[in-house]
């Protein structure tokens, strides 16, 4: 029984190290987060475009990689559109509030 307790306790990660490491993390502003998200969106679109061009030119890209890159770009774009829609909806809701 002691072996089981030792095994189970040794598998529990040290929580204090994780708490200390999260305290040193600096927070990004909304503008910085938004800029990073737009940059990732652009990178996924460029990656998909490059995959298509390489595939059509007979490069080393196979059809599966091209389709995965296209789907990633599509999902990233859908996420960006939904975030934009929520921001516009929140703005409209705030503008309708009486002063």
Q: Residue 12's pLDDT is what?
A: 55
Cα dihedral 83, 86, 90, 92 sign: positive
pLDDT of residue 47: 95
3-class SS string, the chain: CHHHHHHHHHCCCCHHHHHHHHHCCCCCCHHHHHHHHHHHHHHHHHHHHHHHHHHHCCCCCCHHHHHHHHHHHHHHHHHHHHHHHHHHHHHHHHHCCCC
* Averaged pLDDT in 10-residue chunks for the chain of 99 residues: 54 55 71 91 96 91 93 96 96 93
pTM, 2 dp: 0.64
User: What pLDDT shows up at residue 85?
Assistant: 97
CB 59 within 8 A of CB 73: no
- So what's the pLDDT on residue 60? 86
Q: What is the pLDDT of residue 4?
A: 54
């Amino acid at each position: 029984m002691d072996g089981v307790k030792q095994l189970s306790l040794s598998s529990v990660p040290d929580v204090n190290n994780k708490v200390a490491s999260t305290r040193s993390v600096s927070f990004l502003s909304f503008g910085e987060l938004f800029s990073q998200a737009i940059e990732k969106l652009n990178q996924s679109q460029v990656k998909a475009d490059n995959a298509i061009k390489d595939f059509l030119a007979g490069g080393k890209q196979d059809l599966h990689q091209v389709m995965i890159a296209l789907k990633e770009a599509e999902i990233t774009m859908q996420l960006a559109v939904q975030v934009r829609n929520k921001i516009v909806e929140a703005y409209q809701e705030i503008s309708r509030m009486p002063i």
